[in-house]
Chain A
Amino acid sequence: MRRLLRGSLVLLASSAMLLTACSSGSSGDGTSNPSEKVELTYWSWATNMDKTVQVWNDSHPNIHVTVNKQDGGDPAVTKLLTAVKAGSGAPDLMQAEYQAIPTMVAAGALADIKADLGPDVQKQFSPGVWSAVTLGTAAVYAVPQDSGPMMFYYRDDIFQKYGLTVPTTWDEYAATARKLHAADPKAFLGTFSATDPGWFVGLTQQNGASWWGIDGDKWSVSIDSEQSRKVAGYWGGLVQEGVIDNTPMYTPGWNAALNNGTQVGWLSAVWAPGVLAGSAETTVGKWKVAPMPQWNSGAPATGNWGGSSTAVTAQSQHKAAAAQFAAWINTDPAAVKALATVSSVYPADTAASAAVLTSPPAYFANQPDFYSVVSKVASTANPFTYGPNTNVAYSAYNDAFGPAAQAKSQAGFLTALTRMQDVTLQDLKSTGFSTN
C-alpha cells in the first residue's frame, strides 16, 4: 500500500516537475536599472516585423525586443483583453489598430506614455492621426505607426477594353459599374463586403460620418446618421440592381475573382499593393490607382481603412523602455525606412516616409506616380472618432449587413444600419457608459 501511495505521488510530482520545467515564464522583475538588459515582448501581425525590429536590436544592446507574430488585429485585441482580465500575460508592446484603442483604453489595457515620450514625437504626425492616439484627452496611449487612406484601384486593361473612364464621382462610379456589367455579365466593378466593417467605416468617413463622439463626459453614437445612410443606401441600391457583387472580400473566391478579371475594381487603402501582390499575382502590371470617387467633387475627401499604432500595455514592467522603442520604430528615419520597405506599411510619419517612398511599390511599377497620388489623397481624410465598443458595432455590422447583402435588398441595408445603431447604443448603456 505504501508503495502504491508512493507510486502515485511520484507520478504527480514528476508530472508537476515536468510542467514546471516546461512553463516559460516571461514576466519581468519590475526593476528598471538602465544598465541591466531589458527584455520586451511585442505583439504584431505586420509582415516581417521581426526583421524591422532587428534594426533596433542591433543598435540597442540593452533593450531587446522579441516579436510575437499575431493572427491579426482582432484576435490580438481579444487576447490582450483576456490577459488584462487575468492580470498577467500581456506583452510590453502591442500593435494597436486605431479603432481598437478606445476599447483597450476603456479596459485599462494601455499605459499613458505621455511622460515617457519626448516633446518632439507629436510633431511628426498630423493632428488627425495624433488625436486617434490621445482620444482627445490629455493622455497619450500609443505612437501612430501607419495609416490607410482609401483609394480606387482598377484594372486598367479591362477599362480600356470596354472603353470605360475612371469615375471621379459616385454617380460616375455607378454608371461605370452598370456599363461594365452590361458589357460582361460576369464582371463587377466592385463588391459590397459584409465581413469588412473597417472598409465600410472608411466609406462613411469619406462622406463625413463619425460613428462615435465625445460630448463633455458622455458618449454619443451616430452610426445611423444621414451621412452613413446615404452611403448604405447607395451600395444597397447597386447590390439590389445586381451591378455590384455581394461576395465578401478576403475569401478564396474573391481572390480568384481578382485574378481572373471578374473583380475589375477595388476600393481599398494604400496598403492594397501588398494584398494584390499576393491575391492577384497573375495580374501584376494591369492595375492602376486613382483617388476615390467623390460625393462632392468641390471638396475631395477620403476615409481610412485600417491603420495602427504602437502601444505600451498597462502590464508592462518596463514602460519607459517600451515607450522609447515605440517612439523609435515610428519616427526614426532608419526605422521608418524599414517599416515602409521591409514591413510594407504606409508610415504615419509622413515627412519621414516621403523621404523613403520615392519609387512605387513593386506591384505598381507601371505607375511611377503611385506615392504622389497617395500623398495627395492622404491629407484629405476626414476626422473620425471610434468608441469604446467598436468591437460590438463591428460584429453587429457582420450580422446585420450579411443577410442584407445576401438578400440584395436596398431597404435591408438601411435596416441593417439602424440595427447596428441600436445594438451599439444599447451595449454602451447596459455597460454603464454615460450616453446621450
Chain B
Amino acid sequence: MRIMATGTTKPSTGSRRTAPYVFVAPAVVLFTLSIAIPIGYAVYLSLRTVKVSGLGLGQGARSETWAGLTNYARSLTDTDFLTSVGRVVLYGAIVIPMMLGLALLFALLLDTDRVSARGFSRVVIFLPFAVPAVISSLLWGFLYLPSVSPFTFVATAVGITAPQPLAPNLVLFAIANIAVWGGTGFNMIVLYTSLRSIPTELRDAARLDGANELQIALRIKVPIIIPSLVMTSIFSLIATLQVFAEPTVLRPLTNTISTSWSPLMTIYRDAFTRDDIYSAAATSVVLATATFVLSFGFLRVVQARAFAQETR
C-alpha cells in the first residue's frame, strides 16, 4: 500500500494509513446497505419465481422456486417491454438534443456581455429545477387539457382548431416537453459554470484577432466545454431511460399512454400491478445493464479527462 504523500517523516504514519478508511467508512456502510445489498437482492429475485398449485387459494398454495434465466428470457421477448424501449429511444432522440441545445444556447447567451436581462433569465430558466417532476407533470397535464389550455383558448378565439397535445401522434412530444422544461435550466447552469471558467485572455485574444461573438462562441467556447457537454449528455441519457413520473401522472388523463409506455413503467406494472416482482427484477437488471453499456464507457473517458491533472 502506497500512501500518497511523499517525503514526510511524521510520527503519525499509522494514523495516516487508517485515516482514509475512516473517512470513507460511513459512505461504504450506507452504500452497502442502501444500494449494494438491494441490487444483489434484485439480482437474486430475478432468478426466482413463484409457482402456484391448483386454484392457488388458501395458505401454502404458492411456493417460491428457482427460475434460472426464464424471467430474463421472458423480459427480452416481451413485446410490451421491447416496444417501450423503442419508444423511449425515440423520446430520447427528441429530448436530449432539444434540452441540451437550448441549455447550450442559453448558457452562451448568458456568457455574452451585450445580452441584457441575463440575471433575470438565468434565475427564471433555472426555476423549473425546483419543481418536482410529479408537480410539473401535474401542471403541464392541466395545461394540456382543452378546457384549461391557453393555446386552445387563443385558437378558439381566432377560430382555428388547436392540436390536442395528448392525441396519439403528439403525446410523445407532450411528455418530452415536460422533460425539456424541467431539465434545460439545470443543464444550462452546468454549461454556464464551465463557460465562466474559460480564461478571459483566450476570448480577448480572439476578439483582438477580429472574431465576432458568434465565432468566439463556436470556435473557442464550445470546444473548451465539450467535457461538460459529454457529461450532461450522459446524465440526460440516464434520465431519459428512466422516464417514469411524467407519463405516469399524465396516464389517467388520456387513452394514449399505456401502462407499459416506458421501460420503468413496465417494471412498475409488473412489480406492483401484476404482483410479479421476479419478472420486474429481471427487467430491471436488463435495463440497468443497458444503461451501463451505454454510459459507463463514456464516463470513463470523461473521468480520465476530469482527473487528469490530479492524478498526474
Contacts and interface: CB of A to CB of B under 8 A. Distances in A.
Contacts of B56: 106, 388, 431-433
Interface stretch (A39-47, A147-155, A249-257): A249-257
B77 interface: no
Contacts of B52: 106, 431-433
Nearest to B61: A106
A151 B207 CA distance: 78
Contact of A106 (B51, B62, B167): B62
Contacts of B146: 253
A156 interface: no
A246 B255 contact: yes
Contact of A135 (B14, B57, B274): B57
A400 to B, nearest CB: 9
Contact of B252 (A135, A251, A403): A251
Interface stretch (A214-222, A288-296, A337-345, A369-377): A214-222
Nearest to A314: B59
Contacts of A195: 251-252, 255
B259 A248 contact: no
B258 A399 contact: yes
Residue of B59, B275, B276 most packed against chain A (CB within 10 A): B275
B7 interface: no
A398 B265 CA distance: 14
Contact of A405 (B26, B148, B252, B255): B255
Interface in B209-256: 251-256
B33 to A, nearest CB: 11
A391 B273 contact: yes
Contact of B168 (A1, A218, A398, A406): A406
Interface stretch (A78-86, A160-168, A174-182): A78-86
Contacts of A81: 272, 275
B53 A12 contact: no
A431 B256 contact: no
A107 interface: yes
Main SS at interface, chain A: helix
Interface residues of A, number: 55
A356 interface: no
A285 B25 CA distance: 68
Contact of A252 (B29, B53, B147, B260): B147
A38 to B, nearest CB: 24
B156 to A, nearest CB: 12
Interface stretch (A3-11, A228-236, A297-305, A315-323): A3-11
A226 interface: no
A391 B255 contact: no
Contacts, number: 131
Residue of B55, B168, B253 most packed against chain A (CB within 10 A): B55
Contact of B254 (A103, A135, A248, A395): A248
Nearest to B171: A406
A85 B273 contact: no
A284 interface: no
A352 B256 CA distance: 44
Contacts of A368: none
Interface stretch (B15-23, B180-188, B289-297): B15-23
Contacts of A434: 53-55
B252 A85 contact: no
A402 B53 CA distance: 34
A248 B22 contact: no
B203 interface: no
B8 to A, nearest CB: 15
B19 A248 contact: no
Contacts of A4: 19, 22-23
A435 to B, nearest CB: 10
Nearest to B59: A108
A217 B55 contact: yes
Nearest to A111: B59
A406 B255 contact: yes
A284 B50 CA distance: 51
B250 to A, nearest CB: 10
Given A8-B22, A391-B275, A139 B58 contact: yes
A217 B54 contact: yes
B12 interface: yes
A252 B255 contact: no
A392 interface: yes
A248 B253 contact: yes
B43 to A, nearest CB: 17
Interface string B52-79: 1111111111100000000000100000
A210 to B, nearest CB: 16
A101 B251 CA distance: 26
A329 to B, nearest CB: 25
Residue of B15, B25, B254 most packed against chain A (CB within 10 A): B254
Given A195-B255, A251-B253, A406-B168, A256 B59 contact: no
A256 B272 CA distance: 31
A217 B276 CA distance: 23
A359 B251 CA distance: 38
Given A137-B58, A434-B55, 15 more contacts: A1-B18, A105-B57, A106-B52, A135-B57, A219-B55, A252-B145, A389-B274, A392-B274, A395-B274, A401-B255, A403-B168, A406-B168, A430-B74, A431-B51, A433-B55
7 interchain residue pairs of minimum CB distance = A1-B15, A402-B255, A432-B52, A399-B258, A256-B147, A432-B51, A78-B272
24 contacts: A8-B22, A8-B25, A12-B26, A78-B272, A85-B277, A102-B57, A106-B62, A137-B57, A251-B254, A256-B145, A391-B273, A391-B274, A394-B273, A399-B259, A403-B258, A406-B167, A406-B255, A407-B168, A427-B274, A431-B50, A431-B51, A432-B50, A432-B56, A433-B52
Interface of A: 1, 4-5, 8, 11-12, 74, 78, 81-82, 85, 102-103, 105-108, 112, 135, 137, 139, 194-195, 214, 217-219, 246, 248, 250-253, 256, 314, 388-389, 391-392, 394-395, 398-399, 401-403, 405-407, 427, 430-434
